[in-house]
Amino acid sequence: EKKRIVESTSKPDHAISLSSSHPFYKEINDAINSHLNRLLMEPVEEKDGWVCIADQGDLKVFKRELEENGIPIDPMKAVCTVKGITGHEVCQYFWAFDTRMEWEATLDNCHVVEWLSDDTFVSNNVIKRVWPASQRDALFWSHIRHVSKRNDEGPDCWIVVNYSCEHPECQPVKYVRITMNVALICETIIEPPASGDITRKNITCKITYTADVNPGGWAPASVLRAVYKREYPKFLRRFTEFVVDKTKDKPILF
Ligand code: 18C
């Protein structure tokens, strides 16, 4: 049985995992599976309309230009390799609500609307306004999961999905509501030392990030595309540096 806590910033007492009778249960499992399948089926590279908009070696961002009724909804994909952190750590910090404002540079504020279980909550992000467009917000469930190897080829990974939803306690009355389907998927590569324990020097995290965002109403395409081109690489750099910094003196969370 879920317990409802409004405006909470820390994890309250709630069910360990989401009940199969919860209205979001199927949607969450479907979204996780479709992201994992997509990751296995489609390598992140420049083909089929995908173009690289940032190449910094260890960090690459791709987009595919797409419009719906004149509104740009370009899907974004990024790959990033970072030494010294695990996929579990990266996903834990991407999902954790209490530290979101420490790495999110494009938000005015955010709050938890409802905790659904130990691994899932609904939150509201209010995004900084970009002139001349109206201010936006987003309402989404956020779910974290460890996925064990499905077979010999399949990856062992951690995944977080942030997926737009509705909630009676957070109606879209004040801002234009964006909708999104965002996933962060991480694999950990371990190169064991010849002798001794595994340290942070022996681990590398391979991150795949995908974002399908609909800005929810008119937005000037050229401004939006320029903001994305600047902000997505910045977000990945800033966020992964944040995780490196937060974990450097902590035991490795495998
Ligand atoms: O995935 C990220 N964060 C998650 C946790 O918060 C979550 C959020 C995803 C929202 C993603 C997209 C927002 C798009 C907003 C469109 C706004 C339209 C404005 C009209 C412009 C003409 O999953 C990390 C997300 C990293 C997002 C990078 C792109 C964000 C663009 C936001 C625009 C606001 C920029 C303000 C810049 C001011 C900087 C000082």
18-67 confidence digits (pLDDT tens): 888 999 999 999 999 999 988 878 778 888 899 999 999 999 999 999 99
pLDDT(106) > 80:
yes
In b/e form, how buried is each residue of 180-191, taking b as 16+ CB within 10 angstroms?
bbbbbbbbbeee
Residue 48 zone, left/alpha/beta (φ > 0; ψ -120 to 50; rest): left
ipTM of the complex as predicted: 0.94
What's the CA-to-centroid distance between 237 and ligand 1, angstroms?
15
- Is any ligand 1 atom within 6 A of the Cβ of residue 133? yes
Distance CA 40, CA 37 (A): 5
pLDDT surpasses 80 at 163: yes
Residue among 227, 234, 235, 239 whose CB has most ligand 1 atoms within 8 A, to mutate: 227
pLDDT given at position 151: 67
Tell me the C-alpha distance between 200 and 197, whole Å.
Answer: 10
Mean model confidence pLDDT for the chain: 91
Residues 195-236 have pLDDT tens digits of 999 999 999 999 999 999 999 999 999 999 999 999 999 999
Going along the chain from its start, the domains and CATH numbers come out as 72-192+203-247 (3.30.530.20)
The CA distance from 231 to 236, in Å, is 9
Share of the chain above pLDDT 70, in %: 91
Q: Give yes or no for a contact between 97 and 112, defined as CB atoms under 8 angstroms apart.
A: yes
Residue in 179, 182, 238 to alter for ligand 1 test, most ligand atoms within 8 A of Cβ: 182
- Does ligand 1 come within 6 angstroms of the Cβ of 5? no
Residue 206 DSSP one-character state = E
Cβ–Cβ under 8 Å, residues 179 and 137: no
pLDDT-derived band at 154, boundaries 50, 70, 90: low
Q: What is the DSSP letter of 178?
A: P
